[in-house]
Amino acid sequence: MKKPIFFFSLFSFIPSLSSNFSTMNSFFTKRWLVPALASALLVLGAQNVQAQCGDFNVGTPTSPVTFSLNLTQMNGTKARLNNNVMTSLGFSINGPCFFEVTTDPTLMAGWTSLPYFYDCTQLGLNILYVRVNGPAGPSTANMPPNFRQLNITVVDNISPLLDAPANIGPLNNTPGQCYNNTVAGTGMSLLAWPMAPPTVVAPGQYSDNCSTALSYLIQNPDLSTSSGMGSVPAGYQFKIGTSTITYTVVDGSGLLASDQFTVTVVDNEPAVINCPMSIAVGTQDPSCALCLQWCRCNGYRQLRSGDHHQ
């Protein structure tokens, strides 16, 4: 009969123990138990990722990894971050694992696997975050060493291509003028960057893997200059003599190419002199007459004396 009493007493104690535990629940659960378990799971997850994926950390975990990428992919229009680049930086992972990257500084979204590409619109500094993913799941803890910040400078080292038009002339002047304003073939045209990098472009063409700005500089025969953006405007008055035109193209990285050509204009129009009729001028001395003739041309006056009679 005593054993049932013992079990009854034990079961009577359980509600009291449960009540005491409930009272302590707030402290242990909120202040210690939950954070401790979360930290343990994060550490365990990171250890599992490291055990399955290899050594992810390079250098100081809290310091960004800084390097540059050139636009060498896809015919010089893309820069590529891939596993080979990561290996060259000292990162190493095992077969079943892979790198993931995001531009989201909160590390909450946008994760994508390598390769990752940059283009001409992203020249300069770009910040990227990298983590490891594998059978144990990603290293998602938002603190080093579970991710690394990459400071990547995207560089365009491909210079523009430009070939100026062929020399023009000699051309006759515009009738009645000391210049020619109907010269054709002085403009430049943009050649779309082809699928295979060209070594040359045709005369009158320019091209680049990124955006460019074209400008011209004209040195006139009288040593005055004219300049502007784009091609030489239609109707430009090329003066008699030889003008030297320099075209320059500059891309977003400051790389440039330039080339020159000449335009020669000659004056093949004979001079025209229109003189008035002869004029007789009398003198006060009736015994003497003086015949004067003159003409005017281009602002120049010439006076010639006629016969003098006594």
The DSSP code sequence of 8-23 is HHHHHHHHHHHHHHHH
Rounded Cα distance between 131 and 103, Å, is 12
Give the predicted TM-score (pTM) of the model. 0.66
- In this structure, are residues 262 and 167 in contact, taking their beta carbons and an 8 Å threshold? yes
Rounded Cα distance between 158 and 155, Å, is 9
Domains belonging to the chain, first-starting first, are 13-155 (no CATH), 161-266 (2.60.40), 279-309 (no CATH)
Q: Please report the DSSP string for 77-99 in residue order.
A: TEEEE-HHHHHHTT----TT-EE
Per-residue pLDDT of the chain (310 residues; tens, 9 = 90+): 444 444 444 444 444 444 554 444 454 444 544 444 344 333 333 444 455 565 555 555 678 899 999 998 888 899 999 999 998 888 877 777 888 999 999 888 999 999 999 999 999 999 999 988 877 677 655 555 568 899 999 999 999 999 999 999 999 999 989 999 999 999 999 998 876 767 789 999 999 999 899 999 999 999 999 999 999 999 999 999 999 999 999 998 999 999 999 999 999 888 777 777 776 665 565 555 444 444 444 444 444 444 443 3
Q: Please report the DSSP string for 171-187 in residue order.
A: EEPPTTSSEE----S--
Q: Please list the helix, strand and coil fractions of the chain in percent, rounded to the nearest 5, in that order.
A: 20, 35, 45
Cβ-Cβ contacts under 8 Å for 239 (sequence gap 6 or more):
178, 179, 220, 221, 222, 265
End-to-end CA distance of the chain: 182
Rounded Cα distance between 278 and 84, Å, is 96
CA nearest 100: which of 83, 87, 79?
83
